[in-house]
Every structure is written in C-alpha cells, then in structure tokens.
Amino acid sequence: MAATQLKWDLFLAKALVSTLLVLLCLHTSTGMSGWGGCLDGQDVFATIRENSHWGEVVTELMADTRMEGVHWRLDGKDAAWFFLDERYIRLNTSADKILDREAQGPFLKADLSCYEEDTFQSVYRIMVEILNENDNSPVFSTNTVHSLSVSELTPVNTVVFTVLATDADNDKIIYSIDQTSPDAEYFKVVLPNSGEVILSKPLDYETKTSLSVTIHASEMTTAERYNTSTNITIFVLDGDDQYPQFLPCMLLLQNETSRICASPVYAVNVTEGEEDIVLDFFPGPIHAVDGDRGLNSPVSYAIVSGDDDGRFLIDRETGEMRLVHGVMDRLLTPLVPLQIMAYQDDDPRKYSVATVLVRFVAVNQFLPEFEMAEYQGFVTGGKSPVSLVNTYVLKC
C-alpha cells in the first residue's frame, strides 16, 4: 500500500518537473532576440499594496538579468520607486518616501530597457497598480459651518444644516449625532449618507437661545470605521411668536420650556373731585414689553372698555394714564374698572389685555383721632420754660 503510494507520488513529481522544464524552454527559446540576453520587450503589469516596505518584490522578470554582456536600465516617470535586484523589481521607499496611493495616484509607470553590448535591444513597460489601504480618516470639508443661526419658528423635521466630510480613500461616509452632546435631542439624521441634520424638537428662543451638538462622520464599510467629529453651535433667532406682556409678570407657570405670565391688575385711589391728573398706579407704572425679547417690537396702548363717560386718556406710546374728568360724588361712582390693551405696532393682532381699577375715595376720609377721650398727667415744677408732661392711664 505504502510502496505504491510512494511510486505514484514520485511519478507525479517527475511529471511536474518535466512540465516546468518544457515551459522554461518555451520561454527562453521563443523570447530570445539577437544572440541571447534581452527578451522581446513586453508590458509588465503588477500590483503592490499601498504602504509596502522597502525591498518588497514588485514583480519577477522572466529574463535572466545576470547574463554576461547584457545590462538593464530602469527609467521613466516613476523609476525612482523601483530598483532591480537580479530578476526582481523591488520597491524603493524610505522613511520620508512612503508609497501613498492618495498622494501618488493609483499607478506607477517605468521603463526597463535592455542592452546587449551597449546596444539597445528592447524595453519592458512596467505598470504597477498601487492597491488601496484604508490609511485615511474622514475629514470634514473646510467650509463646514461651526455656528449658524436658526429661527425659533423653524418647523420640526426641517433640514437645519448639512455637513460634508470626505475620505481620501474614497470610503463611503455616514453621519450621526453624538447622543452625549448637550442638545442632541433637538436633532436627528434620517438619511445617514446625506449629511442632512434635521430638527426633531421645537426651538424656543424664550427658554434657550443657543444649542450645541456634535456630529460624527464615520467610514461606513471599512473594518477600521475611522471617524471624525465636529461641534456645531446653533444660535436660535427670536421669531414673532409671543404676545406683549404687561409688567410686572404675574408668574403662572415656569419650567424649562415655558414661562407663562398673567397681566397684573393696576389699581389707584383717587380723591373725589380731583381731575386732570396723572394716575399713579400700584403696581405701576402701566408698562408692557414684546414677549419676543430678541425682537422687542414697539408696543402701543389703548383703552378697550370701561370708559363710557370719557374720563380717562391713555398715552398710546408710554401707557401713561390721565384722569381728565374727575368724579364729584364717590357714592355714585365708587369704582371704575377698565380694560386696557397693549399691542404690537407691527402686528396689532398680537395684543394683551389688563385690568385697571380706579377707586374714588372721600376727601379727608379719615381724620386724625386720639386713642382716648381724656388723659391725666403731671409735670415737674421748675424754672425751665419747657418741661415734659407725663401722662398715665387711670384704671376705672
């Protein structure tokens, strides 16, 4: 069993050697030119990995480069990348000359000329493709925005900005939001290859005027998944979404997304008979501001109701209120409640209403009074023109 196996193995080995010899003979006999050394010039295609080291074999030549009287010379555009070592063309690199496909381009070209007794015989055109290695990370393009302004009225699901990163190795890039960045919740990426960053939560200038988010650009299909990131600051621009607010704010609700104020009730006491006076309210003065502090649109004032007798005037610009015609009998008119409004000059549909209470009080309503009807006292006798009277209370 073992003996036949061995015989068979030997037979195969012999067959292989003779085939190789035939092939070699074919090479040397058909390729010869002149009396020997140089073969017919042919094109040599080879590949080599990017970042390969010095001495790496680029290709092996069929010709015998050691034959006497024959010599070879490398020249052409990229000849310095190669050197000839017997029948091998090897790579010539150094610490500061690294084979970089991105810098060099995908192909190296050189000519290998063959001379017999200094007579040119043939040329081999050498074409070497540099095989790509993933040796570059994505890089955000230089015109990537680092900050931008966005109106608070921007609808959710709108693209707020677009980023673009490139990869020198031409790898496909996907973009994502760093969920640990402070305002990640406001943004989302729907199409990971597009670089489009979409608003996912309403903006509100009144509670947050700027947002910060980190965007990653990562290689999509490589093993290394090289990535880079960029920080983007979004300044929220005030939009006209708030109504005027009378001050001071009567706070109804405040949380991290909203602050809701009610209007104060402005009150004043006026003595009956008084007129043509500026009313001094508490709280006061009457004043309203645009709720959009960033826009701060001018606000005007008007009396809406309650002044059927035409007693009051309000200054449209300042909100100052005057009593023009006074009340002569407070028993008939003890209290005048009015509604006033503050509206935006640029959009009167945006207005707020507040209540004004004008109470009429009697002239000298309260006279000064002593606590008791009668006091007892004594005084120390002496020469002094002034002396203290000590009073005391008699217990009855």
Ligand X SMILES: *[C@@H]1O[C@H](CO)[C@@H](O)[C@H](O)[C@H]1NC(C)=O
Secondary structure of 330-376 in the HEC alphabet?
CCCCCEEEEEEEEEECCEEEEEEEEEEEEEEECCCCCCCCCCCCCCE
Q: Whole-angstrom Cα distance, residue 338 to residue 340?
A: 6
Q: Which of residues 207-236 bind ligand X (CB under 6 A)?
A: 216, 218, 225, 227
Q: Which residue stretch of 182-190, 261-269, 290-298, 325-333 sits at the interface with ligand X (rule: CB under 6 A)?
A: 261-269
The length of the chain, given as a count of residues? 396
Q: Is the CB of residue 105 less than 8 Å from the CB of residue 77?
A: no
Q: Whole-angstrom Cα distance, residue 141 to residue 166?
A: 7
Q: Is the CB of residue 133 less than 8 Å from the CB of residue 51?
A: yes
User: Least distance to ligand X from the beta carbon of 368, Å?
Assistant: 16
According to CB under 6 A, which one of 269, 305, 390, 391 is a site residue for ligand X?
Answer: 269
Q: Which residue stretch of 104-112, 250-258, 266-274, 383-391 sits at the interface with ligand X (rule: CB under 6 A)?
A: 266-274
Decide whether 5 or 179 has the Cβ nearer to ligand X: 179
User: Least distance to ligand X from the beta carbon of 80, Å?
Assistant: 4
**Tokens linked to 109:** 């070209």
Q: Is the CB of residue 257 less than 8 Å from the CB of residue 365?
A: no
Backbone angles phi, psi at 102, to 5 degrees: -70, -30
Query: In which element (H, E) is residue 162 found?
Result: strand 159-162
83 touching ligand X, by CB under 6 A: yes
**Tokens linked to 204:** 């509100």
User: Least distance to ligand X from the beta carbon of 96, Å?
Assistant: 9
Decide whether 136 or 218 has the Cβ nearer to ligand X: 218
According to CB under 6 A, which one of 97, 172, 293, 316 is a site residue for ligand X?
Answer: 97
Q: Whole-angstrom Cα distance, residue 27 to residue 377?
A: 148
Decide whether 181 or 344 has the Cβ nearer to ligand X: 181
101 touching ligand X, by CB under 6 A: no
328 touching ligand X, by CB under 6 A: no
According to CB under 6 A, which one of 80, 131, 156, 251 is a site residue for ligand X?
Answer: 80
**Tokens linked to 130:** 């540099």
Fill in the DSSP letter of residue 187. Answer: E
Number of residues that bind ligand X (CB under 6 A): 15
User: Least distance to ligand X from the beta carbon of 226, Å?
Assistant: 7
Q: Which of residues 6-45 bind ligand X (CB under 6 A)?
A: none
Q: Tell how far CA 326 is from the center of its chain.
A: 61
136 touching ligand X, by CB under 6 A: no
Of the CA atoms within 13 Å of residue 95, those in its CB half-sphere come to 0
Q: Which residue stretch of 57-65, 126-134, 264-272, 309-317 sits at the interface with ligand X (rule: CB under 6 A)?
A: 264-272
77 touching ligand X, by CB under 6 A: no
Q: Whole-angstrom Cα distance, residue 229 to residue 247?
A: 45
139 touching ligand X, by CB under 6 A: no
**Tokens linked to 228:** 């880079």
User: Least distance to ligand X from the beta carbon of 84, Å?
Assistant: 8
User: Least distance to ligand X from the beta carbon of 353, Å?
Assistant: 20
Would you say the C-alpha torsion 255, 259, 263, 266 has a positive or negative sign? positive
72 touching ligand X, by CB under 6 A: no
Q: Which residue stretch of 18-26, 195-203, 236-244, 267-275 sits at the interface with ligand X (rule: CB under 6 A)?
A: 267-275
User: Least distance to ligand X from the beta carbon of 279, Å?
Assistant: 10
3-state secondary structure of 179: coil
According to CB under 6 A, which one of 92, 121, 242, 352 is a site residue for ligand X?
Answer: 92
Fill in the DSSP letter of residue 34. Answer: T
User: Least distance to ligand X from the beta carbon of 350, Å?
Assistant: 29
Cα separations in angstroms, 88 against 49, 65, 380: 17, 9, 136
Q: Whole-angstrom Cα distance, residue 277 to residue 283?
A: 18
User: Least distance to ligand X from the beta carbon of 91, Å?
Assistant: 9
282 touching ligand X, by CB under 6 A: yes
Site string for ligand X, 340-369 (x = CB under 6 A): -------------------x-x--------
User: Least distance to ligand X from the beta carbon of 224, Å?
Assistant: 7
Q: Whole-angstrom Cα distance, residue 102 to residue 139?
A: 14
* Residues near ligand X, by CB under 6 A: 80, 83, 92, 97, 176, 216, 218, 225, 227, 267-269, 282, 359, 361
